Structure 1
Amino acid sequence: MAKFNRYLITAALPYANGPVHIGHLAGCYIPADIYVRYLRAKKADVKFIGGTDEHGVPITIRAMKENTTPQAIVDKYYKIINDSFEAMGISFDIFSRTSREIHHKTSADFFLKMYNDGLFETRESEQYFDEVKQVFLADRYIIGTCPNCGNERAYGDQCEVCGRTLSPEELINPRSALSDAVPVKRKTTHWYMPLQNYEPWLKEWLLDGHKEWKNNVYGQCKSWIDSGLQSRAMTRDSNWGIKVPLPDAEGKVLYVWFDAPIGYISATKELTPNWADYWCKEDTKLVHFIGKDNIVFHCIIFPSMLKAHGGFVLPDNVPANEFLNLEGEKISTSRNWAVWVDEYLQDFPDQQDVLRYVLCSTAPETKDNDFTWKDFQDRNDNELVGNLSNFVYRTMVLMHKLCGGKVPPIHADVKDDKDDAVLPMLQAAKQKIEDALENYRFREALQEMMNVSREGNRYLQEKQPWILAKTPELQAQNQAVIDNCLHMCLQITANLAIFANPFMPFTAKKICHLLKVVDRMLEWENAGTLNLVKVGYSLRAPEMLFTKIEDEKIKAQVDKLQATKAAAAPAANGTPAPAKDAAPAKEAVAPKAEIQYDDFAKLDLRVGTIIQAEKVEKADKLLKLLVDIGTEKRTVVSGIAMHFKPEEIVGKQVTLVANLAPRKMRGIESQGMILMAEDNGKLVFVNPAEVVAPGSGVS
C-alpha cells in the first residue's frame, strides 16, 4: 500500500430499469464495500464512486413495457436502487446518475477530445430500421423466434429462455419490438474506435503487466486480445442518451458503454473539486469492482479510451466475480427469478448483515456459486447465532454475573498459557485478514474473522469460569482467574468488532454499543491489541447479535420462488414470464386472428405415446422424447423439463403436430411439437379422454 497515496474505488453502474437483486450485491457491491470500509479503517484517502446507468436500450424497453417515458423510469428506479444500497450499508461517497448535466458534459467533452485528435473512424453500414416508427433498431429492439429453442420472443442479442447469444440475422421471422413490423436494412453513419490500434499497448500493459489479476479476468482479456480486436461503434441511432457533440450527428447518441464508465469520472467531479487528484495523479490506486459480464468493457475498452484521451490513471486491478445462481438456476430478471433487495429488506428488517455475511461466505469469487434459502438459514443459525453471537452473548452474561457488570482487571500472578495465547492469536488473525483483503480474497478474510470467534468460544470453554464460580466460596477463591478469562473475552469481543466492521458494519456498531465504546475504536490500528475496553468500566446489558430464523420465514421465501416458477411456465413454450414490476398479465388469453377451415386442415395432428424421456444435457428446460405414432417413432425436443420428470411421463399419450418442419434444438433434430395446455402456471398434456392407438388422427 505504501506506493499509493489515495484510492479510487468504483462499483459497476446498475441499469436504472429495475431493482437490484442479490446477484448484483454478491457480484460487486458487497466486495467493493468491504474493501472500502477496510481502507477507511486504515485511514486511507479513499473515494467510493457509484451511480446508475440511465441510458441505453434496457431503459427504453422498460419504458415501453410500462407505457411511460425513459425519464420516468430512471427517476423511479434510481430511488429504489439508491434506497436499497443505503439500507444494505453500501457506503458510497457518492451515488450519482448518468442523466445529470455534469455527466453529459463530461462525456461529450471526452468524445470531442478523441474526435479532434483523429482517433475515430467514420463508417457507413446497414442496420435494421423500423419503417413504421421511423427509427433504427438496436439489437435489443428486434424480436423473433430463437433458432435454438423455439422461443418466439427472443431478442436480437440473446434468447432469455435458453440463454444463447444471438444476432438479429439469426432470428426466425424477426420483427420490431416497437411496432411489430418486419424491419428493413438501411444505411447509417457512425463513429468507430479502432481497438485493433491499441492491441500492442494492451498486450504490454495488461497481458505482461497485470498477470496478478484474477484468472477469470486475465483469461477473458487474453482470449479477446489473442483473437484480434476490431473497430467498435461508439455511437448509436437514438433519441435517448448523450447527443453526439458534432454538427452532422442529428439523431445520434453516444454508445452506452462509451458514456457509462465515464460516469465514474463525472461522479467524482460532482463529489469533489479535487477530482483530478484521484483521476490524474499516478500515485492513485484505481480499482473497478464488477461482475464477469463487464470484464471486457472495464479491462479493454475503457482503458483504451483512457489511454487514447490521455491524462488519466489506469486501473490497478479489476477483481471481477463470477455469477451467483439462485436455488440451482441462473438469476433472471425477465423471469422474475431473483431475490430482490428491496423485498428482502421488507421481509427481513434489521437483518442486513445476515445477507451480507451469507453473500460474502458464498461469493462467486472464482466460479459461479449458488444461493439457497436453506443455506441462508443454516449459516445464520449455525455460524452467526451459534458461533459469533453465542460468544459475545456468553461473555456479556458472565461478565455481568461474575464481575458485577464491569470490565475486570488482569491479574498477572495467575495468568496461564491460555491467557498468554490470546494476543498472538489476535495479531495473527489481523495479518491473515489484512493479507486476504489486500488481495481481494473476501471469503477467506471473512472466514479468518469467524475463526477469531471460534477461538474465543474455545478459550471460554476451556477456562470454564462458570465452574470456577459454582459456589460463592469457589468464586471468591478463583475470582482472579475468572477476571482474567472475562477480561480476555471482552478484548476478543472488541477485536471482533474491528474485524467484522468491513463485512458486517451494523453488527460492529452493535458490539461498540454493548461495550460503550465510540466508533473510533473500529480503526484498523486498534486490531490485535488488548487495551480496547478499560478496566472498571460499566458495560450494557447482554443482547443477542443475531437470532435464529424461523422455518416459516424460509418456507415463505421458497414458496414465493415456486410461485415465480409456476408463473414462468409459459416460457417453456416460448413466452417469457413478466419481469418484476412489469405490467400485469391479462386475465384471459387473447384470441388470435380468424382462420379458414383450409388453414386448420393443413395440420396433421396425431396421438402418440411417449416411450422414452430424458433430459437434454446442459439445457435445464428441455426433455428429449421418443414418441410412438404408430407408423414410426419420432424424436421430439420439448421445453417441459421444469414441469415433469422424465420417468413420470413415459407411457403418457400426447397430441403431436406431426407435419411441422424439423428443427434442431441443442444439436438434436426435433420432429414435431407436443400440444400443451396452461392452467394457472401448470402445464397439462393435451390428450384424448380415452387411450387410443398410437397414430390415431385428431380432427
Structure 2
Amino acid sequence: IQRINSDLANDLGNLVSRTVGMIDKYFGGTLPAERTATAFDEDLKAVALSTTEKVENAMEKMFFSDALVEIWNLVRRTNKYIDETQPWILCKDEDKKAELANALYNVAESIRIISILIQPFMPNTPEKIWAQYNITEGDATAWDSTKTWGVLPAELNVQKGETLFPRIDMKKELAELEAAIKASQATSVANQQKKEEKKAEAESEYPAEITIDDFCKVQLKVGEVLESKEVEGSKKLLRNVVKLGDEERVIFSGIKDAYAPGELVGKRVVVAYNLKPRKMMGEMSYGMILCAEDGDGKLSVLTTDDKDFASGSSIS
C-alpha cells in the first residue's frame, strides 16, 4: 500500500497528471514551438539519456529491482526539475512563456522515456500515459527512442485522462485484509474440526475379532462424570470431565445426539483408561467412555449398577 501510494501515486502518477494539467491550464492543451532554455535543462537530459543504459545493464543481469531504482531516480529527478523551473511562477510573466513552454516540454519528454522504460514491469500503464500526451505507438514509443532527446513533436497536444494510480485508504484496506484473514482462519478451523470428527468416527470402529492378548492390553475403569458440556463448532461431541479415583480427565465423546449436556453428570461410566490420548477440537482427550449401540445407531452409555462403586475401580 505504501509503495502504491508513494512511488506510484505520488511520484509517477502525480508527475503525469500535474504536467498535463499545467499544459492544459497555461497553454490550452497545446505547447507552442517557441522555447527558451533554462539553467536546469542539461542535467535533466543527462540523467534521462543515461538511464536506459543503466536499466539495460541491470535487466541483463536480472537485477530487476535495480532497474526499477534507476527508473525511479529519473522520476524523482523530473519532479525535482519542476520544482527548479517553477512553472507556477513562470506563468505569471508573459516574457517567460517561452521558458515555461520549454520546461513543460522537457518534463513531457522525460515522462515519454519513463513510460517506455516501465513497460517490462507495468505493461498496461504506458498506453494510458501515451493517451494523455497523444503519443501513438511507433518511433516515439520504441525502446531505442529512449536514447534520444526531443522525440516528442514541437507543438505537443495533451488531454487529461484517468488517474493512473488511485491512492489506497490504508485503514480501510488493512481492515478488509484483517477480515479476510479471519474468515480464512475460521474456514480452516472448521475444516480441521470436520477432519478430526471423521477421524474420531473412524477410530471408533474396531475389528470384529481380537485375541485375549489384545483384550488384556485394554485397562477399563469406573469413572464418575463431574461435568458434561457442548463443544462449540461440533455437532456430535460432548466435553466430559470424568473423575477416576484421585484424578480428573477430559474425555470427548460423540454422544451429543443421545445425551443432552449435563445429563451424564453424576453417572458412573465405564472408561477405556489407557487409550492413547488424542487431540480433539484443539484439546487433548484422555480415554473413552464406552457405549452400546443398537441397530438404529442409538447409543447408551455403559454404567455400573452400583452407584456407590468407587470411581477409579478397575473392571476385569
Q: Same fold (TM over 0.5)?
A: yes
What is the aligned partner in structure 1 of residue 259 from structure 2?
none
Map residues 336-355 of structure 1 onto 2, 5 A cutoff.
Answer: none
Q: Deviations over 1:331-355 (max 9, x none)?
A: xxxxxxxxxxxxxxxxxxxxxxxxx
What is the aligned partner in structure 2 of residue 544 from structure 1?
163
Map residues 115-194 of structure 1 onto 2, 5 A cutoff.
Answer: none
| C-alpha distance 479-440 of structure 1, shift in aligned 2 (>3 A) | same
What is the aligned partner in structure 2 of residue 443 from structure 1?
65
Please tell me the residue identity of whatever aligns with 1:447. V
1:565 pairs with 2:185? yes
Partner of residue 97 from structure 2, selected from 479, 487, 494 = 479
Report the Cα distance in structure 1 between the residues aligned to 2:273 and 2:189, rounded to whole angstroms.
24
1:385 pairs with 2:9? yes
Instruction: Quote the offset at 1:421 in angstroms.
Output: 1.0
1:415 pairs with 2:24? no
| C-alpha distance 571-658 of structure 1, shift in aligned 2 (>3 A) | farther
Instruction: Quote the offset at 1:528 in angstroms.
Output: 3.1
**Given the two structures, how large is their TM-score scaled by the length of structure 1?**
0.30
Instruction: Quote the offset at 1:592 in angstroms.
Output: 1.6
Q: Deviations over 1:72-125 (max 9, x none)?
A: xxxxxxxxxxxxxxxxxxxxxxxxxxxxxxxxxxxxxxxxxxxxxxxxxxxxxx
What is the aligned partner in structure 2 of residue 402 from structure 1?
26
Instruction: Quote the offset at 1:505 in angstroms.
Output: 1.2
What is the aligned partner in structure 1 of residue 242 from structure 2?
none
Equivalent residue of 2:93, what SS? helix
Instruction: Quote the offset at 1:658 in angstroms.
Output: 9.2
Map residues 536-685 of structure 1 onto 2, 5 A cutoff.
Answer: 536-550=155-169, 551-569=171-189, 592=201, 594=204, 673=278, 675-677=279-281, 683=282
What is the aligned partner in structure 2 of residue 151 from structure 1?
none
1:458 pairs with 2:80? yes
| C-alpha distance 562-408 of structure 1, shift in aligned 2 (>3 A) | farther
Report the Cα distance in structure 1 between the residues aligned to 2:66 and 2:107, rounded to whole angstroms.
24
| C-alpha distance 574-659 of structure 1, shift in aligned 2 (>3 A) | farther
Please tell me the residue identity of whatever aligns with 2:6. N
Q: Give 1 or 2 for the bigger CA radius of gyration.
A: 2
Q: Deviations over 1:312-339 (max 9, x none)?
A: xxxxxxxxxxxxxxxxxxxxxxxxxxxx
Instruction: Quote the offset at 1:380 in angstroms.
Output: 1.0
C-alpha contact (below 8 Å) 1:407/1:534 kept by paired residues: no
Instruction: Quote the offset at 1:449 in angstroms.
Output: 1.5
Instruction: Quote the offset at 1:564 in angstroms.
Output: 1.8
Q: Deviations over 1:505-560 (max 9, x none)?
A: 11011011111111223211101322232122322125421101234345334422
Report the Cα distance in structure 1 between the residues aligned to 2:28 and 2:43, rounded to whole angstroms.
26
1:531 pairs with 2:150? yes
Equivalent residue of 2:150, what SS? coil
Please tell me the residue identity of whatever aligns with 2:38. K
Map residues 199-210 of structure 1 onto 2, 5 A cutoff.
Answer: none
What is the aligned partner in structure 2 of residue 516 from structure 1?
134
Please tell me the residue identity of whatever aligns with 1:592. E
Report the Cα distance in structure 2 between the residues aligned to 1:571 and 1:600, rounded to whole angstroms.
32
| C-alpha distance 567-475 of structure 1, shift in aligned 2 (>3 A) | same
Equivalent residue of 2:124, what SS? helix
**Given the two structures, how large is their TM-score scaled by the length of structure 2?**
0.62
1:492 pairs with 2:107? no
What is the aligned partner in structure 2 of residue 432 from structure 1?
54
C-alpha contact (below 8 Å) 1:468/1:482 kept by paired residues: yes
Equivalent residue of 1:423, what SS? helix
| C-alpha distance 408-602 of structure 1, shift in aligned 2 (>3 A) | farther
What is the aligned partner in structure 2 of residue 31 from structure 1?
none
Report the Cα distance in structure 2 between the residues aligned to 1:573 and 1:602, rounded to whole angstroms.
28
Report the Cα distance in structure 2 between the residues aligned to 1:543 and 1:432, rounded to whole angstroms.
30
Report the Cα distance in structure 1 between the residues aligned to 2:158 and 2:148, rounded to whole angstroms.
19
C-alpha contact (below 8 Å) 1:409/1:536 kept by paired residues: yes
Q: Deviations over 1:13-63 (max 9, x none)?
A: xxxxxxxxxxxxxxxxxxxxxxxxxxxxxxxxxxxxxxxxxxxxxxxxxxx
Please tell me the residue identity of whatever aligns with 1:428. S
- Runs of 4+ in structure 1 over 6 Å off: 570-574, 684-687
What is the aligned partner in structure 1 of residue 125 from structure 2?
507
C-alpha contact (below 8 Å) 1:512/1:518 kept by paired residues: yes
Equivalent residue of 1:517, what SS? coil
| C-alpha distance 556-589 of structure 1, shift in aligned 2 (>3 A) | farther
Report the Cα distance in structure 2 between the residues aligned to 1:572 and 1:497, rounded to whole angstroms.
49
Map residues 62-81 of structure 1 onto 2, 5 A cutoff.
Answer: none
C-alpha contact (below 8 Å) 1:407/1:533 kept by paired residues: no
Report the Cα distance in structure 2 between the residues aligned to 1:553 and 1:387, rounded to whole angstroms.
21
Instruction: Quote the offset at 1:393 in angstroms.
Output: 0.8
Structure 2 unaligned spans of 5+: 207-214, 224-245, 247-271, 287-310
Equivalent residue of 1:406, what SS? coil
Equivalent residue of 1:405, what SS? coil
Instruction: Quote the offset at 1:451 in angstroms.
Output: 1.9
Please tell me the residue identity of whatever aligns with 1:400. D
Report the Cα distance in structure 2 between the residues aligned to 1:658 and 1:460, rounded to whole angstroms.
81
Report the Cα distance in structure 1 between the residues aligned to 2:199 and 2:280, rounded to whole angstroms.
17
Relative contact order, higher structure (CA 8 A, sep 6+): 2
Report the Cα distance in structure 2 between the residues aligned to 1:396 and 1:570, rounded to whole angstroms.
54
Report the Cα distance in structure 2 between the residues aligned to 1:570 and 1:528, rounded to whole angstroms.
59
Please tell me the residue identity of whatever aligns with 2:146. A
C-alpha contact (below 8 Å) 1:409/1:487 kept by paired residues: no
C-alpha contact (below 8 Å) 2:78/2:107 kept by paired residues: yes
What is the aligned partner in structure 2 of residue 16 from structure 1?
none
C-alpha contact (below 8 Å) 2:109/2:151 kept by paired residues: yes
Root mean square deviation of aligned Cα: 4.0
Identity %: 24
Report the Cα distance in structure 2 between the residues aligned to 1:602 and 1:556, rounded to whole angstroms.
52
Equivalent residue of 2:13, what SS? helix
Report the Cα distance in structure 1 between the residues aligned to 2:155 and 2:97, rounded to whole angstroms.
15
Map residues 35-46 of structure 1 onto 2, 5 A cutoff.
Answer: none
Instruction: Quote the offset at 1:488 in angstroms.
Output: 0.6
Please tell me the residue identity of whatever aligns with 2:112. A
C-alpha contact (below 8 Å) 1:423/1:529 kept by paired residues: no
Please tell me the residue identity of whatever aligns with 1:397. G
What is the aligned partner in structure 2 of residue 192 from structure 1?
none
Report the Cα distance in structure 2 between the residues aligned to 1:558 and 1:600, rounded to whole angstroms.
48
